[in-house]
Amino acid sequence: MNVTLKEIILVVMTGCIPALLIQFNEGFIKLREFVSGAMVPNYLFFYFLLFFFLHVFLTSFCWLYGYKFSPEKQKKAKQKIIYIAEIGDSFLGIYRLASGLLFTIPIVWKYVERDTLTDLQFAGLVSYALLLLGGVISISSINSWAKSKL
């Protein structure tokens, strides 16, 4: 499956649909609480980002210089890198959720409180969501490349 299509589906499934379900079942106040709870503090975000970069770095290193190691050492290194990659994938999940929420919130906001959101603000929020979706697709592509090299 194409990475772009896969990520769009995942963003919709992890961010958009849960937000819409909360909005229509619980209301705008519960949706606001959900969004507040879904956002992680910066230090946790950077913690997971560190594992993502570590995964890409170690994979690149093994891809470029792995032939110098014995097959046994290569196997052990790959197992450790895969473990690090699983932790780093949490970072991608956070981005997917945030991207889905950023697509949904302006639409719900326009529906619930039409007078408080201008068209320019709406376009700005949707543009930001598209930018974040582009980041998700890029990170997923890098992640797929790194996993394919193991």
Closest CA to 143 of 47, 59, 43: 59
135 — pLDDT class (breaks 50, 70, 90): confident
- Specify whether the CB–CB gap between 91 and 53 falls below 8 A: no
Helix (H), strand (E) at residue 15 = none
pLDDT value for 16? 94
Instruction: Give the Cα separation of 138 and 7 in Å (integer).
Output: 10
- Token reading at 129: 């969501």
pLDDT tens-digit map of 26-65: 988 898 888 888 877 888 878 877 877 887 888 788 777 7
Instruction: Give the Cα separation of 51 and 143 in Å (integer).
Output: 11
DSSP 149: T
- Token reading at 35: 């969004």
pLDDT tens-digit map of 61-120: 877 777 777 888 878 877 777 777 777 677 788 888 889 998 998 988 888 888 888 889
Instruction: Give the Cα separation of 51 and 48 in Å (integer).
Output: 5
pTM reported for the whole predicted model: 0.75
Distances (CA, A) of 19 to 5, 6, 29: 20, 19, 12
8 — pLDDT class (breaks 50, 70, 90): very high
